[in-house]
Structure 1
Amino acid sequence: MTEDSDGANAREGGAGHYTVDGHKVAARPLEPGLYPVATPIGNLSDVSLRALEVLAAADLVACEDTRVTRVLLDRYGIRRPLVAYHDHNAARERPRLLAGLTLGKSIALVSDAGTPLISDPGYKLVEEALDAGHKVVPIPGPSALLAALVAAGLPTDCFLFGGFLPSRAGQRRQKLAVFGAVPATLIFYESPHRAADTLADMAAVLGADRPAVLARELTKRFEEVRRGTLAALADGAREVPPRGEVVLLVGPPGEHTSDADDLDALL
């Protein structure tokens, strides 16, 4: 397990500190364990104070891309050892991280943006850490799917996160058919260059008039939330292709109510 060039200096300093608005704050020592830490999805000001304290105090920070995480840590004056942990090296690095936990280390786990374990390899690390009896402490915070949901104007009382749909059209339509009758708002991550095709498939499988939302670049400078029917959004995505990170949301099928009295009656 290799650390970046700041690793040795960070270890020599023991528990670190973080800086907010020019004020340096000492981080309290962490108990041994794995700490999945949510990080900003765009706007670096969205990080929580608790997340900063954990990142500053951890013996090691495991991240998808050390360069991306370094930008966040530099913003808040945090210098800790970093190690890359992503899809391509997870099988090799996971035993080393688990060995660190066995030695009583505190390890923070972050993704490039948002909440770890959501469409990244962190799930297996958490699963194996728990199986080995290690403590796992979630540090909640930003999440693209929740940010999109609260801005969409679609029902929020029941929703289903479908992750990334298959890239091949046939497999994508089969997956959508499974979700079609679910009485919930559907949420998917999608790459910008496939957004138009995916929306067209959604319109064909789920219904052209079904209400939907395309949200992109959430919390960033060019944040945009497009609302309309699946057919209209598909046409719009072909005319003006979206750029950046994309979240697609589809409203529930048929009549839907979020009225508390009606829900109580149904229950």
Structure 2
Amino acid sequence: MGLRNHPNSNVGSDVGTPVIVERLTRRFNDGPPVLNALDLAIAPGEFVALLGHSGSGKSTLLRTLAGLDPVTDGAVIRPSEVSVVFQEHRLLPWKRVWKNVVLGQKDQSAKLRAKAVLEEVGLLHRVEAWPMTLSGGEAQRASLARAFVRKPAFLMLDEPFAALDALTRLKMQEMVAALWKKHGCSVLLVTHDVDEALILADRAVVLERGRIRVDIPVTLPRPRRHSDPGFEPLRERLLEALGVHAA
């Protein structure tokens, strides 16, 4: 048992591989389980939003799926090509934007790949910029470019828009939706924002004490708006699952 990558290791070769979590349990220092015999499946190309209160196990699950935490009890199967976008952009300030995007890639075509993906996120004009000169939204777009330049079959987003202002956040949501549609990867978005989950995801999963409390399909047509028929009932269901009740 444990974390198993799909055997194909070529870039983009395992896009058709699902993410499967089986009976995953994780605890720290003999305390209560943070993840408690958790089962979760994400189909190839599916967009899943993961919600839950602090301490519910969201970040632990993401770290495990990213390979940052070991699997000691249960099993995880996922594609070998994965990328993670964190809340902090984590750009290296001493490297220009394009070099941050292709960090660790030193072949002659690296800059061409960086420019291509920076164009996708609207940052082609900032190729040679230093990270400290970027706005918050630009820095997070560069972080997205760094994730997509690796052509992931599975993309994990750990509250990537939490520090952005409301308008920039809406623009980033639209960009993520467009990139997901273009690249066809599976996505797991960790978020505290119910509306964000409903705007972006195919399914909204609420985690509570390391177990899935509810798993709600979001079948609204895209692009989605708060005024769409069916949006508010789904929102109320998610809020109720999170313990928030309408007045």
TM-score (norm 2): 0.31
Q: Which has the larger radius of gyration?
A: 1
TM-score (norm 1): 0.29
